[in-house]
Structure 1
Amino acid sequence: MTIRAAFVQVLVLVAVGNLWADHPRGEGEVSRANQFFDDGAFRKLQTDQARALHANGSLVKASDLAKQLERKTVGLDLPEAATAVSPMSPRELYQKCRQSVFSLAEVRDCEGCGEIHVTPYGTGFAITADGVLLTNHHLIKALESSSRLVASTADGKTYPVVEVLASSEKDDVAAIRIDGSGFEPLQLSVDNFVGTRVSVINHPRGHLYSLSEGIVTRLFTQYSQRTMLISGEYAVGSSGAPVLDSSGKVLGMVAATSSLNDQMILRVCIPTQSLLEILTQSEPGAAQEMQDPLATERACLKATFAAFQQLLQLHQQGRISSEEMDERFATLHSIMMHAIERCPDDPVAKQYSKVAEFMRKQQRTQSGEQDAADQLPARRDSNPE
């Protein structure tokens, strides 16, 4: 690192504290004196840090990242699902999840003026504490070969994107790694049913860290591709943003918009089921070439079983009705059985089979009790006493 670059980096790190001066990282509330996000201060921090990283050779060319788009899967240790997560208000969710959402920016050498230009480019979000983010495949592919890519947290701290770990052009998803650690990862959930309330933290046309709300309006497959539609608004610059449920879990990722003859805008998202296709569970230090060929199914089993456990808790707490419980269970059961067919010896599969059998016995018992109860009035009527 040159003396000039080091000096710039020090100035930037000192300035980071001024962006959210009244909101230290980790606190839940923003003071009234500083509840307005300073776009100008953020852009200056992002630009200064990106230029410093460029000067010390920390940035990776897009041409090198593009070559890594051929990688299909990556083994990761995803964070365990919390046993019980209470729904949050939109304000609480925004404060809790904002620091896990990144603003991506393209860094370009301008031949005309000789300056380093830093341009808002898209969105990403952390799924591990050690710097693995999810974003869209099309964002990486569309970069100019000589460009670089950086990712910034809400407090303005900027990190170089150094590697593409895995991607899928069909599903438009990429797992990238940034040179940093200590992040708050978001958890993935397959509990993305039609009607579920969702929130999106995104950067539409550079409007940094905007929050929009809506519901899941449709889930469908076409040509073997899963798609999720939502009613929450977003625009250019939001690609790669997380679609969150009320507990802050990721149900999908923003991908695109589509106009129906200027009568309706479809908000097209990638459901978590497709995100999991490129993510596989691995033991620490496991080699890429030694990955389990059924790792995707095992990851799906684990995520679905976690959603199943959360569903049971919601029902036990009286937060969903028995009818809604049955409807959601049927969907989860179908997903589980498909994965169990591929890997019946998985410990999660065996655990789920025991729980499912117990539930079936309970349903048969309850059904028998109901049948007996239905017959009681008839027996009373037939008894003259």
Structure 2
Amino acid sequence: MKTSYLILIGTFLLLWHTSARGQAVANNNRYIDYQQFFSHLHLDTLRGKALISLKTLQDSAALLADEAPPKGAAITTLRAGRKPLDGASIYARRKQSVFIIGKLQKAQAAGAMNFDLIGTAFAISTNGICVTNYHVLKDILQKPLPGNDNDSLYFIIAPDGHVHFIDRILAYSQNNDIAVFHINTQSMPLVPLPLGRPAETGDPVYCLSHPLGYFYYFSHGIVARNVTIDKQAAAAGYNPLGKPPVRMEITADYAIGSSGGPVLDKCGNLIGIVSSTAPISTDQGKGAMTTGVHQQLVVKDTAPVAALLELLGR
């Protein structure tokens, strides 16, 4: 049986800053100081706002059905681009669409606030509709565990340092590890990713995500396989009432913290969503296994864009 590993990131401590502003970059835009970036977050948006608590998000998400398309007005997305781009152009054009997703814990002493930075997300519409993994938002989508009372809200951090708060879940697929959610944009339109077509084995891919604090890490590879998986390999868990899980396996690198990150084609269109990894190792000549002493390969499972389009009712 294949053992899959979810791609989550751990806890990060941020200080309460309301006066610090400015660009979190060096004197040019090439070399970014992410310590400075986090010190310059626009955390003043926490003050005087009607924030959506974890319990409120859980209660509203409990009314949704697994695999059901979002209710209400149709979601307007961008058409897929057709012009091939080089890697540098894809990164420059798509970075503004990709976010760090986090969870606020209980306020600490001396004004400090404790955050979990739990993965990656991206925009698919200008008006606040975003996508990440089901397992990234599992505390909202699954029955809450004891001790989560201090998790007061969920948020995303944009590349410009603005913080936007999640105000509702719109749809999810547990088997395909996808969650669609809405944020309070504070009247700031998002820059969405165009949704592409399903990729074929051998097609080039690019991944933009946040592996273990290496924020906005950009990697390149190909589609290794398009496959169905069994319920034991569904890293976010398996719902027997859901649709059969499918995955696009890729060779582009990612790691813990990359969950929910976009996988892009050569035109910069979305073709997949980072989900999990499955290492293949050997144990001193005793044969192949998914865990062992000598690692040989890491299979990288992503949810294909076809699963997202189906969830959106396309």
* TM-score bucket of the superposed structures, by smaller chain: 0.7 to 0.9
Residue aligning to 1:79:
77
- Give the Å deviation of 1:275: 1.1
1:189-268, aligned counterparts within 5 Å?
Answer: 189-223=196-230, 224-261=244-281, 262-268=295-301
- The AA in structure 2 aligned to 1:192 is A
Distance 1:85 1:21 in 2: 34
Residue aligning to 2:150:
146
1:1-385, aligned counterparts within 5 Å?
Answer: 9=18, 11-12=19-20, 15-16=21-22, 18-20=23-25, 33-46=28-41, 49=43, 52-70=44-62, 71=64, 72-75=68-71, 76-82=74-80, 85-110=82-107, 115-142=112-139, 144-147=148-151, 148-180=153-185, 181-223=188-230, 224-261=244-281, 262-279=295-312, 296=313, 299=314
- The AA in structure 2 aligned to 1:248 is G
The 1:69–1:218 alpha-carbon spacing in structure 2 relative to 1, beyond 3 Å, is farther
Distance 2:160 2:211 in 1: 18
Q: After superposing the two structures, state which structure 1 stretch, 133-142 or 52-61, moved more.
A: 52-61
- The AA in structure 2 aligned to 1:146 is N
Unpaired segments of 5 or more residues in structure 2?
Answer: 1-15, 141-147, 231-243, 282-294
Distance 1:112 1:158 in 2: 22
Distance 1:194 1:237 in 2: 25
Residue aligning to 1:373:
none
- Give the Å deviation of 1:113: 7.3
Contact 1:66 1:140 in 2 (8 A): no
Q: After superposing the two structures, state which structure 1 stretch, 241-250 or 140-149, moved more.
A: 140-149
Contact 1:53 1:59 in 2 (8 A): no
The 1:233–1:8 alpha-carbon spacing in structure 2 relative to 1, beyond 3 Å, is closer
Secondary structure in 2 aligned to 1:134?
strand
CA deviation string 1:284-333 (max 9, x = no partner): xxxxxxxxxxxx2xx1xxxxxxxxxxxxxxxxxxxxxxxxxxxxxxxxxx
- The AA in structure 1 aligned to 2:69 is T
The 1:61–1:266 alpha-carbon spacing in structure 2 relative to 1, beyond 3 Å, is same
The 1:219–1:225 alpha-carbon spacing in structure 2 relative to 1, beyond 3 Å, is same
The 1:58–1:238 alpha-carbon spacing in structure 2 relative to 1, beyond 3 Å, is farther
Contact 2:225 2:250 in 1 (8 A): yes
Residue aligning to 1:290:
none
- Give the Å deviation of 1:39: 0.5
Contact 2:24 2:34 in 1 (8 A): no
- Give the Å deviation of 1:8: 5.9
Greater strand share, 1 or 2?
Answer: 2
Contact 1:61 1:145 in 2 (8 A): no
Distance 1:205 1:234 in 2: 9
% identity of equivalent residues: 27
Contact 1:53 1:160 in 2 (8 A): no
Larger RCO: 1 or 2 (CA < 8 Å, sep 6+): 2
- Give the Å deviation of 1:146: 3.1
How many residue pairs are counted as aligned between the two chains? 257
- The AA in structure 2 aligned to 1:66 is Q
Distance 1:19 1:264 in 2: 36
CA deviation string 1:135-154 (max 9, x = no partner): 01111114744312111111
Calculate the aligned-residue CA RMSD, in Å. Answer: 2.3
Unpaired segments of 5 or more residues in structure 1?
Answer: 1-6, 23-32, 280-295, 300-385
Contact 2:78 2:195 in 1 (8 A): no
Distance 2:50 2:303 in 1: 31
Secondary structure in 2 aligned to 1:185?
coil
Greater helix share, 1 or 2?
Answer: 1
Secondary structure in 1 aligned to 2:296?
coil
- Give the Å deviation of 1:56: 2.5
- Give the Å deviation of 1:19: 2.4
Secondary structure in 2 aligned to 1:220?
strand
> What is the TM-score when the length of structure 2 is the normalising length?
0.75
